[in-house]
């Protein structure tokens, strides 16, 4: 049985966007509603929190070691020491109410970024692929553009649209529906893939992370002592720690008091290692 432990009782409103940084040997993650950048060093157990001037929702590494961020104002680059943000590009400057949500770097250095309407008020989101700093529209009509992950060989890309509960597969330049989530599985949020190709999907209303085959069959379940699971990724020097972000955004004051670890960063030791993150080939400004 896999037993996650709370590595950082951060009490985040909506933990998200975690990524392992092998250069700095630390995990970065964000609190969306708390407008903050967090880090965790598994060697020392040291955790940090840096307040930022506005909402950030996801992170990616560029090939020069910079930290890219998805924000309500588009893509940017953040200095993780000072919190200074440099704006890079907004793919939807003329769609009021929309913001960036999840993102991931691909094996070719492209950056995949999904958008959503704040509060998931409609299917106004889209999925973009940036190459050379310029976006191509890869999908439209999404609600909450969430979980993005690549297969170990980099030939398959997985994408979750949370409100309709659809896990999409992009392969050979075509989209397919891999599986649908319903009341039996719960609401899918963020995800990652391990080195054997297993998908690990955070279920944001069940206190669970589900393991799935590349065909979408559920084969494993990790129970987390917190109701709201938002995302997960592998980290640590051997990439065998599954880090899991959680939230408190729909909990009452009484529920928060009864679950003091809610909104924390959890860590689970896994038998199979994950994959190191790809890096974005963003053009030099």
Residue 241 has pLDDT above 80, yes or no: yes
Mean pLDDT of 154-164: 96
Buried b (16+ CB within 10 A) or exposed e, 36-46: bbbbbebeeee
- Judge contact between 209 and 242, C-beta under 8 A: yes
SS3 content of the chain, % helix, strand, coil (to 5): 0, 55, 45
- Which domains, and CATH codes, for the chain? 5-269 (2.120.10.30)
Residue 142 has pLDDT above 80, yes or no: yes
User: What per-residue confidence (pLDDT) applies to 159?
Assistant: 98
Distance CA 26, CA 19 (A): 9
Which of the residues 8, 161, 189, 194 is marked catalytic? 189
Give tens-digit pLDDT for 1-22: 899 999 999 999 999 999 999 9
- For residue 3, give the 3-state DSSP assignment: coil
Tokens encoding 126: 């889209």
Give tens-digit pLDDT for 19-45: 999 999 999 999 999 999 999 999 999
User: What per-residue confidence (pLDDT) applies to 96?
Assistant: 87
User: What per-residue confidence (pLDDT) applies to 257?
Assistant: 85
The fraction of the chain above a pLDDT of 90, given in percent, is 90
Query: Which of 67-76, 115-124, 128-137, 274-283 shows the lowest per-residue confidence on average (mean pLDDT)?
Result: 115-124
Distance CA 163, CA 145 (A): 9
Give tens-digit pLDDT for 168-186: 999 999 999 999 999 889 9
Give tens-digit pLDDT for 264-275: 999 999 999 999
Distance CA 203, CA 218 (A): 12
- Please say if 189 is a catalytic residue: yes
Residue 285 has pLDDT above 70, yes or no: no
Full-prediction pTM beyond 0.85?
Answer: yes
Q: Tell how many helices (H) and how many strands (E) occur in the chain.
A: 1, 24
Residue 132 has pLDDT above 70, yes or no: yes
Q: What is the mean pLDDT of the chain?
A: 95
- Residue 114 — pLDDT band, cuts 50, 70, 90? very high
């Amino acid at each position: 049985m896999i037993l996650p432990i709370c590595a950082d009782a951060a009490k985040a409103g909506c933990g998200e966007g975690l990524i392992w940084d092998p250069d700095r040997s630390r995990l970065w993650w964000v609190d969306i509603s708390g407008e903050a950048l967090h880090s965790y060093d598994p060697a020392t157990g040291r955790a940090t929190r840096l307040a930022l001037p506005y909402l950030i929702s996801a992170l990616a590494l560029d090939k020069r070691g910079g930290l890219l961020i998805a924000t309500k104002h588009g893509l940017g680059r953040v200095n993780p020491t000072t919190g200074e943000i440099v704006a890079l590009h907004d793919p939807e400057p003329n769609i009021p109410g929309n913001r960036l949500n999840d993102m991931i770097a691909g094996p070719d250095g492209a950056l995949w970024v999904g958008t959503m309407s704040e509060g998931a008020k409609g299917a106004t989101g889209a999925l973009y692929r940036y190459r050379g700093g310029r976006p191509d529209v890869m999908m439209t009509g999404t609600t909450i553009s969430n979980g993005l992950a690549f297969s170990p060989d980099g030939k398959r890309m997985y994408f979750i649209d949370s409100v309709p509960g659809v896990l999409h597969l992009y392969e050979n330049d075509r989209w397919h529906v891999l599986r649908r989530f319903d009341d039996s599985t719960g609401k899918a949020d963020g995800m990652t893939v391990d080195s054997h190709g297993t998908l690990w999907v955070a279920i944001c209303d069940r206190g669970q992370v589900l393991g799935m085959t590349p065909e979408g069959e559920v084969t494993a379940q990790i129970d987390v002592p917190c109701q709201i699971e938002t995302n997960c990724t592998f980290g640590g020097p051997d990439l065998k720690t599954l880090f899991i972000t959680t939230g408190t955004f729909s909990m009452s004051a009484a529920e928060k008091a009864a679950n003091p670890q809610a909104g924390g960063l959890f860590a689970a030791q896994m038998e199979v290692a994950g994959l190191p993150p790809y890096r974005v080939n963003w053009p030099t400004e």
